[in-house]
Amino acid sequence: MMGSARRTAGIAAGVVASAMLVASLGPIAQADPVVAEQLRAKKPLRGITIALDPGHQLGNSNPAFASKLAQTRFNGTITKGCNTTGTATNSGFPEATFVYKVTRRVKKRLERQGATVKMTRTTNSYQRWGPCVWKRGQFGAKVRADMLLSVHADGGPASGKGFFVIVPGLVPGWTDDIAAKSQRYGKRLIEGMAKAGATRSTYISGQTLVWNDVTTLNFSDVPAVLVEVGNMRNAEEARLMRTRQGQNDYAAWLVAGVKAAVRR
């Protein structure tokens, strides 16, 4: 039989427990599987590290840095340059700026869900260049990321729209360690993004290219996916890319893709 005194004590303990919950979620979550579950639901990416790589840099088009950008390195398949200017909308809105804005939003959103997020560049300035694509590729392992996501926008045929991914093929001595997993992550990223509302590419079949000569991907030692989030030469997508709302949409789609890719 449970006396009223014990019931009251039970309620009081409950009140204390919720107060403590607010004060310190950590220890209680460890002790209480229900709370731990609620925490996981709120921070589903806790323990996950994502390396985000906003493609290019605004200053890559600055002639002052021409010699820096002319550096080359062999990537396992061919020798390529340090970096490029990237594409732009017909009205001149640069890819470097667009992907930087989107990637910063992606970072915030992922962090809110518990992930640790590191970026290959933290500026978007005409006075800065690079980093070179091989550094971007190496960055994932450097920060012990679970995944490297390189974010770009395409300069495709004006009639085409939608997103697609580029994943590394098997390059012996280079991508043996990551090719299969990168391709799996790419597949999941596509499904996650599409489910969240992103438009699938109308000009890349299966929204996937498996390429052996992308320096960023070949230099990576963690699963790596390059995503072309849309086509800057398509008028409809260019309009979306320039607006705050559009940039938020692209960020939300990428976050959904990342979550699908790294799910355990």
Contacting residues toward Zn ion, per CB under 5 A:
55, 86, 152
* Residue 164: CB minimum distance to Zn ion, A: 13
Single-letter code of the amino acid located at 180: A
Minimum Å gap between C-beta 197 and Zn ion is: 23
Q: Closer CB to Zn ion, residue 193 or residue 214?
A: 214
Nearer to Zn ion, 39 or 167 (CB): 167
* Nearest distance in Å: CB 112, Zn ion: 27
Q: Cα–Cα distance between 67 and 85 in angstroms, integer?
A: 14
Q: Which is nearer to Zn ion, 59 or 86 (CB)?
A: 86
Give me the least distance between CB of 234 and Zn ion, in Å please: 15
Residue with tokens 């992606």: 106
Closer residue to Zn ion in complex, CB, 39/232: 232
Helix (H) / strand (E) containing 79: strand 79-81
Compute the distance between CA of residue 203 and CA of residue 225 in angstroms, rounded to an integer: 19
Cβ pair 128, 188 in contact under 8 A = no
The nearer residue to Zn ion, 49 or 60, going by C-beta atoms, is 60
Contact predicate 199/163, CB 8 Å: yes
Question: Does residue 162 come out as left (phi exceeding 0), alpha (psi in the -120 to 50 range) or beta?
Answer: left
Q: Which amino acid is at 154?
A: D
d(CA 38, CA 43): 9
Secondary element (H or E) of residue 41: helix 33-42
| Residue 45 C-beta: closest distance to Zn ion, Å | 26
CB of 96 vs Zn ion, minimal distance in Å? 8
Closer of 95 and 146 to Zn ion (Cβ): 95
Tell the smallest beta-carbon distance from residue 43 to Zn ion (Å).
31
Residues in a beta bridge with 200: 163
Task: Kindly write down the DSSP assignment for every residue of 49-113, as one continuous string.
Answer: EEEEEE-S-GGGG-GGGHHHHT-EEE-SSSEEES-----B-TT--BHHHHHHHHHHHHHHHHHHT
H or E, element range at 259 = helix 244-262
Q: CA torsion sign, 61 to 62 to 67 to 68? A: negative
Tell me whether residue 96 or residue 251 sits nearer to Zn ion (CB atom): 96
